[in-house]
DNA sequence: TAAGTAACTAACAAAAATGTAAGTATGCCA
DNA sequence: TGGCATACTTACATTTTTGTTAGTTACTTA
C-alpha cells in the first residue's frame, strides 16, 4: 500500500482515496437518493433536511466536479435544476449499500433499535 | 431512515453510525493490520508511519472502548503491549476490504497507477 | 552515572469540516 | 408596487479532527 499524491493531496491507502471522493456527511445521502431518479435541489433539501443550503450545494458541486452526478438547468423562472447520477455514480451505490448494511448490523450489535 | 441518538450524538443514517465507529484516518488501517495477528504498539507505529504517537494512541483507545480490539500489557521493562482484534473487529474486515477494492477501482478510474 | 527504550499522556497549535446569516437574480402574481 | 419562489453564493463563526512538542515511568545496558 504505497503512498500517492493526487491534486496536491497525499493519500496513504485506497480507502482514504475513496472517502475523499464520496465521504463527508452529505455525499452518500445524495448519491443514494439519485440512484433511481432525478432530483431537484429543493427536493434534496427537503429530504436531507439537516443539510444547510450551503453544505448541500457544496457537496453537489464536488460530486459534479468528480463526475459522480450531472446537473441540468432549465431556463425557467423561478429556476429549475435537476441532478442526475452518472455511470461513475452508479458504481458507488454498491459500497454505499454495503456500508449501510454494516451500519445496521453495528446498530443492532450496539443495541440500537431501528423501527 | 429515521434519526437516532447514541451517546449524546445525533445520527441521520446507518452509514454515519458506522463511520463514527470505524472512520477517521487511522482506525481502518489498524483493524486491517490486526486482522490476522497481534501487533505491538511500536510495530503499528512503524507500519503506519504517518500517524503520530498521539493519533495512534487515540485511535487504539477508541477501538478498545468500542469493543473492536483488546489490549494486553506485559509487566516488563521496557513495557510490552499487544493489540488483538475481537469478534466485532473481525466483522468489520469485510467492509474495509470492500471499501479498499472500491478505492482501487476508483483510482484506476481516475488514472492513478498503483504499482 | 548517564543514556536508552516502549508506550504512552498533556498542553497547545493548526487545519479541515460544518454551520449560520444574509444577500443575489429574475420574473410571476396579488 | 411589493412579496414570493428557486437555486444558489459570500462572509464569517464554530466545531471537529489532526498534528507537534515535550514529558513520564522504570528498568537495562554502556
Strand C-proximal residues of B, range 49-88, CB below 7 A, are 53-54, 57, 60-61, 71, 73, 77-81
Nucleotide nearest to A52 (CA to C1'): C19
Which of A2, A14, A50, A93 to probe the B interface (max B CBs under 10 A)?
A14
Domain boundaries, chain A: 25-109
CATH architecture assignment, domain B25-109:
Orthogonal Bundle (1.10)
Taking alpha carbons only, the member of A83, A81, A43, A88 closest to residue A66 is A88
Are B15 and A96 within 8 A, CB to CB?
yes
pLDDT at A55: 96
CA of A31 to C1' of D11 (A): 29
Q: How far is CA A115 from CA A46, A96, A104, A106, B108, in A?
A: 22, 21, 12, 15, 40
Model confidence pLDDT, tens digit, residues B48-95: 999 999 999 999 999 999 999 999 999 888 899 999 999 999 999 999
Is residue B1 scored above 60 in pLDDT? no
CA of A76 to C1' of D16 (A): 40
Model confidence pLDDT, tens digit, residues A17-49: 999 999 999 999 999 999 999 999 999 999 999
pLDDT at A65: 96
Amino acid at each position: 500500500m504505497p503512498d500517492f499524491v493526487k491534486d496536491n493531496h497525499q493519500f496513504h491507502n485506497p480507502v482514504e482515496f475513496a472517502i475523499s471522493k464520496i465521504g463527508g456527511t452529505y455525499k452518500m445521502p445524495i448519491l443514494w437518493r439519485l440512484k433511481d431518479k432525478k432530483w431537484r435541489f429543493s427536493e434534496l433539501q427537503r429530504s436531507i433536511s439537516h443539510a444547510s443550503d450551503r453544505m448541500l450545494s457544496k457537496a453537489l458541486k464536488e460530486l459534479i466536479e468528480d463526475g459522480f452526478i450531472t446537473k441540468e438547468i432549465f431556463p425557467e423562472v423561478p429556476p429549475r435544476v435537476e441532478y442526475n447520477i452518472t455511470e461513475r455514480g452508479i458504481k458507488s451505490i454498491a459500497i454505499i449499500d454495503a456500508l449501510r448494511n454494516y451500519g445496521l448490523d453495528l446498530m443492532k450489535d450496539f443495541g440500537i433499535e431501528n423501527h
